[in-house]
Structure 1
């Protein structure tokens, strides 16, 4: 299974903000550090704000900060929210699969997808930023002083 770029970016933004001590980086700064277009980062940040996982303040002294809910959110919940309820394989569409009515493969792939999400459910953003991961996240994209 391959995650959407927006899912990957959402997880990386949450992880980055979880380890920011006092700084509240702007969306532009986070986008530049992660090497992604500002517009893409802004869309992901907007969705994270809508979900209540990120706080964003405009203007001088503004920036991004992870919310309490963002620290304790399940990684599986974030992945589900960004991935949506899509199937692993496309069985419908312009040329529907003739096995669509009673396909065992489709059901097996759906179970595998749910097992993937279930394996992420117990992990929180705090869990995945623990240990040496936190300091490493702060160095990504930063230029040496």
Structure 2
């Protein structure tokens, strides 16, 4: 089964925020760190906020934080929320399948899809960021070090 891009981004945002510690990165920070378009990520963040999995605060001191529900969220539930309950294949589309009235494939695919979701249900966001993943996520999500007025890296002997 192939996940939608929005589902992948939602899971990666939750993982990123789960290891954020006390920081509250902005949507732009997370988009830049993931190398994805800001507009795509903003839509995903809005849906995660609507689901109660994260809080997004605007303005100075704002940013994204994972809620308790987001930390304990079932990966299966998140995937279901973003993937929807539609069929794996579109048997009724613009050119309906001629086997539609007697097809057993659609039912088998629905069962397989539900088995996929069910296998993800017991897995939580906390589970998928446990070590060694958490440390790796922290390393790749920090981004470049802040630069001073002269373009020198702050805190490094280069510019100090």
Report TM bin, short chain.
over 0.9
Write out per-residue CA displacement over residues 32-90 of structure 1, whole angstroms, 9 at most, x where no aligned residue: 00010000010000000000000111111110000000001100000000001121111
The answer for unaligned runs of 5 or more in structure 1 is: none
TM-score normalized with structure 2 length: 0.87
Larger RCO (alpha carbons 8 Å, 6+ apart): 1
1:45 and 2:38 correspond: no
Corresponding position of 2:156 = none
* RMSD of aligned alpha carbons: 1.2
Alignment of 1:34-73 (within 5 A): 34-73=34-73
Runs of 4+ with >3 A deviation: none
Higher helix share: 1
The answer for unaligned runs of 5 or more in structure 2 is: 146-152, 154-160
TM-score normalized with structure 1 length: 0.96
Residue 143 of structure 1: how far off its partner (Å): 3.0
What number of residue pairs does the alignment pair up? 145
In structure 2, C-alpha distance between the alignment counterparts of 1:121 and 1:71, rounded to whole Å: 14
1:122 and 2:122 correspond: yes
Residue 9 of structure 1: how far off its partner (Å): 0.2
> What SS does structure 1 have at the residue aligned with 2:17?
helix
In structure 2, C-alpha distance between the alignment counterparts of 1:129 and 1:46, rounded to whole Å: 22
